[in-house]
Amino acid sequence: MTEVSKKTSYDVLRLIEHGKSCYISSENVEGKTLVKYLKYHPALEKSELYEILREITRQLELIHRCRGNPCYQYVNPYSMIRADDGRIYYLDMKSEDGKEHIRFMQRRDIREYFLPSDEKYYQHASMELDIYGLGRTFQYILASTEPEPHLSRREEIRLKKIISKALGNQSSNYSSISDIQKQIPTYKEKEKRQNSSRKRKSLKKLCIIGSFVLLAGGYLFWQTLERRKSVQVSSKVSVEKTDQKTGKNAGKGIGGAGRYNGNNNPDQAYIELAMAYFLDVGDADKSMEYLKKMKDSKITENLGILIASYKEHEMTVSGTRYQKGMQELENWLADNKPEKKELQVKYLRCLIRGYGLMNGKKGADEVLRLVNKEQGNNGMANKHLDKEAEKELRKYEAAAYEKKGEREKAAEVYTDLLQLEPDSKLREQLYKKMVLLYEKSGRKDMAGEICRQGMNELKESEELKLRHIRILCADTSISREECAQVIKGYLTEYPGLSETEEFKKLQKEYEIRREGEEVWVGR
């Protein structure tokens, strides 16, 4: 069983409201720590992101309402459990079964990150420290996720204000958790239609759907039937049912061999539409609707498992069943391969998504095999792939190399991704990722070089400058005088850098001293 599919149970706090009071009980749930959940689910729906923020805040507020107004003390994503049913809990710190995880969570390097820099890691519990830990947790969640749709400028500002106030960076701090609850914005699904850029995207998606309707070979065409149900991509689209007469005649090609015969296989029309919605529109539910219309129950079952697992960001069946289904699906797609190269590429993209959910070496090997096939036979960057699809495949390729422990190869793929990514925030994330991979692989020289490249391009990036300082100070082969000169240059050009929490940690760790414009590094 892969790491993602493993079931882990935790003893958690069950908080029972009674009027204005609250009582603490305990129960055992299956799930993952919030840290682990975000690791495997970085692409969150915006609605889920807000639900997580609201729920961890609500649960902490309930804890504070219990008799004696207790504080939790260890407010961080390692102590928060996302149960398999989607609910959020806090670990029961008195649990005997969870001692190993609790000891890990209490480690100094973990604990210090979620405490103010001037507090000792063994600091006793207090309301202020719980609020600070919650602010740090918000910060961690936002740094670890890419919500879809992206946060608006207004939402970013509002969340940053909450974090800043929780961390004590404003004159008036929060006095209670309930004050934070009131400030968390509410995401309304309908607001997506107000965004003009999404309207442009929806037009592109309509074109994609329209092209697949034509490829269906006359089986499916536009209509306004089915009780006016529609594809919701910011505008309404309906696809008419298969022409019954044509479908009846074509059904003769289904069954035994099941091979693709141009326009003689209605299952082919349905699977092409299913993949169009799955790959290009991002509507898993609509994709499943078309799968259910297919006569081949085996392909419906296996592709349905893949799509459902992708929607949940993890395998919905056992690892053995999932792997068997993927192999059967790959064999079917090979036997029913269409003549058009762009459709062949879509089949491969679908399989890569499926194998990408497997976190073991097996899944990584399969992803790399298919990516190499894509590159060799069709060309990853050719006319059959648009920019977004190419970016997706590159990400799967890089992730596969990471799973195999081939960090330098992963970093090289991320370098290729830079050529495809125009967004400055995402480019910064790519630079940071490459730096980390080269560091872990022992290539300090490359880590430093990537840092410099990133800073030359993204001159306002504090994170890259701080990462560069850490790389220099950690390298004992570099003189302390050289380190000091680099730090001095950064502080002169960006004075605010010295006020960041990360720089204060670096000061303690490497004995960085500053007097006026002069800087010294002790170790």
* pLDDT tens digit sequence for 97-111: 878 888 877 777 677
Structural tokens at position 403: 């799973």
Q: Which residue in this structure is represented by tokens 């370098």?
A: 415
Q: Tell me, what's the pLDDT at 359?
A: 76
Q: Report strand pairing: 231-232 vs 88-90.
A: unpaired
The maximal CA–CA distance of the chain, rounded, in angstroms, is 87
The C-alpha atoms of residue 2 and residue 316 are separated, in whole angstroms, by: 12
Structural tokens at position 499: 């006020």
Q: Which residue in this structure is represented by tokens 């991979």?
A: 437
Contact 10/28 with Cβ under 8 angstroms?
A: yes
String of b and e for 127-147 (b: at least 16 CB within 10 Å)? Answer: ebbbbbbbbbbbbbbbebbeb
150 secondary structure, DSSP code: P
pLDDT in tens, 141-153: 998 888 888 888 8
- Specify which of 113-117, 369-373, 464-468 reaches the highest per-range mean pLDDT: 464-468
Q: Which residue in this structure is represented by tokens 């050289």?
A: 482
148 secondary structure, DSSP code: B
The DSSP string of 348-403 is HHHHHHHHHT--SHHHHHHHHHHHHHIIIII-TTSTTS-HHHHHHHHHHHHHHHHH
Give the H/E segment covering residue 88.
Answer: strand 88-90
Q: Which residue in this structure is represented by tokens 């539409």?
A: 273
All domains in the chain, ordered by first residue: 8-187 (1.10.510.10), 460-523 (no CATH)
Give the global pTM: 0.52
The C-alpha atoms of residue 77 and residue 55 are separated, in whole angstroms, by: 13
Give the pLDDT band of residue 246 (cuts 50, 70, 90). Answer: very low
Q: Tell me, what's the pLDDT at 203?
A: 52
Residue 475, pLDDT above cutoff 70? yes
Tell me the pLDDT of the chain averaged across its residues.
79
pLDDT in tens, 125-143: 788 899 999 999 999 999 8
Give the H/E segment covering residue 111.
Answer: helix 108-113
Structural tokens at position 299: 């392909």
Residue 360, pLDDT above cutoff 70? yes
pLDDT in tens, 326-352: 999 999 888 888 777 878 888 899 999
Q: Tell me, what's the pLDDT at 341?
A: 81
Contacts of the segment 407-412: beta carbons below 8 A, 24+ positions apart: 407/437, 407/438, 407/440, 407/441, 408/437, 408/438, 408/441, 408/443, 408/446, 410/437, 411/437, 411/438, 411/441, 411/446, 411/450
Contact 313/45 with Cβ under 8 angstroms?
A: no
pLDDT in tens, 173-207: 788 898 999 899 877 654 444 444 454 555 555 55
Give the H/E segment covering residue 304.
Answer: helix 297-312
The DSSP string of 262-277 is TTS-HHHHHHHHHHII
The DSSP string of 198-262 is HHHHHHHHHHHHHHHHHHTTTS--B-S-GGG--EESSSEE-BPPPPHHHHHHHGGG-SSS----T
Residue 122, pLDDT above cutoff 60? no
Q: Tell me, what's the pLDDT at 346?
A: 86
Q: Is the peptide bond before 495 cis (omega within 30 degrees of 0)?
A: no
In the chain, % of residues over pLDDT 70: 79
Contact 368/356 with Cβ under 8 angstroms?
A: no
Of 73, 75, 79, 97, the residue nearest 32 (C-alpha): 79
Give the pLDDT band of residue 495 (cuts 50, 70, 90). Answer: confident
Torsion on CA atoms 490, 493, 499, 502, rounded to nearest 10: -30
Structural tokens at position 15: 């908080």
Q: What is the 3-state secondary structure (H, E, C) of 425-469?
A: HHHHHHHHHHHHHHHHCCCHHHHHHHHHHHHHHCCCCHHHHHHHH
Cβ count within 10 A of residue 267: 21
